[in-house]
Amino acid sequence: MGTAPTLAVWKFASCDGCQLSLLDCEDELLAIAGRIRIAHFPEASRATVEGPYDVSLVEGSVTTPGDVARIHRIREQSRLLVAIGACATAGGIQALRNFADADQFRSVVYARPEYLSTLDTSTPASAHVPVDLELHGCPIDRRQLVDTLTALLAGRKPDLPGHSVCFECKARGTTCITVARGVPCLGPVTRAGCGALCPAYGRGCFGCFGPAAVTNTPALVDRLRELDMTETDIGRVFRTFNVLAFAGGGDDPSQ
């Protein structure tokens, strides 16, 4: 056996929730720490080991010129780069700025906006560097994170489905809340991986995993209207966690 593979965890514009999912692994965390060397993870330890790293987990979106330089540096130092969470994979909630005037925000929010160095857009890691794997969600699914790290250790393909959340509702035996109760749900256009958590508790999926590998969002929007969802609410539900991804990186889907 050679030396243990090294893992680095990096934070960009984000709430830290996805990194905390790693700490939340509890039982598995000890086993993971026994197989890999955690080389850079400020949320867990001040000790830092210089790169290169075998695996980098990147949380957060790129929102400043400094971020752009840093994501390139991380890419150069990482054998595998794994983007984790809606911010790192789709720009996050903060990508709402992409559809607004960032100068206006700067002037309204900050007393001295000239001190700010920020970009007009919030973008995912993949907009700047090649990304090897993406774990979706706000936050990511803990089991998916453990499975991915385990898969990388074993040299197998991680189980990261591209199909809809409906697959997971059906597998766990959840009765479709849209069909049986008329609850608006983004499940049919949202990527699986959460285990269909929200519909199991009677709440419509709000798309935090972003779009499935194939979607027909206009057809679902027609259905949401039939279910008496207002145009404002339809706009909001698609604009929350994965606005850039649901928009296909272009137009706002609710327009």
Contacts of 177 (CB under 8 A, 6+ apart): 183, 185, 199, 202, 203, 204
216 binds other proteins (CB under 8 A): yes
| Stretch binding other proteins (CB under 8 A), from 41-49, 55-63, 65-73, 173-181 | 173-181
Query: Which residue lies nearer to other proteins by CB, 15 or 33?
Result: 33
148 binds other proteins (CB under 8 A): no
CA-based nearest residue to 168, from 136, 133, 139, 205: 205
| Stretch binding other proteins (CB under 8 A), from 42-50, 103-111, 125-133, 176-184 | 176-184
Number of residues that bind other proteins (CB under 8 A): 47
Smallest distance from other proteins to CB 75, Å: 25
Select the residue interacting with other proteins from 52, 162, 248, 249 (CB under 8 A).
162
Query: Which residue lies nearer to other proteins by CB, 116 or 213?
Result: 213
Distance CA 191, CA 207 (A): 8
Please give the DSSP secondary-structure letter assigned to residue 39: E
173 binds other proteins (CB under 8 A): yes
Select the residue interacting with other proteins from 48, 73, 100, 181 (CB under 8 A).
181
Query: Which residue lies nearer to other proteins by CB, 92 or 188?
Result: 188
Question: What angle is formed at CA 215 by the lines to CA 93 and CA 141, rounded to 5 degrees?
Answer: 50
Q: What are the helix (H) ranges across the chain?
A: 17-23, 27-35, 65-77, 85-90, 102-109, 142-154, 165-172, 177-181, 197-200, 217-226, 231-239, 243-246
Contact residues for other proteins, defined by CB under 8 A:
28, 31-32, 34-35, 146-147, 149-151, 153-154, 156-157, 159, 161-164, 166-167, 170-176, 178-182, 185, 187-189, 202, 212-216, 219-220, 222-223
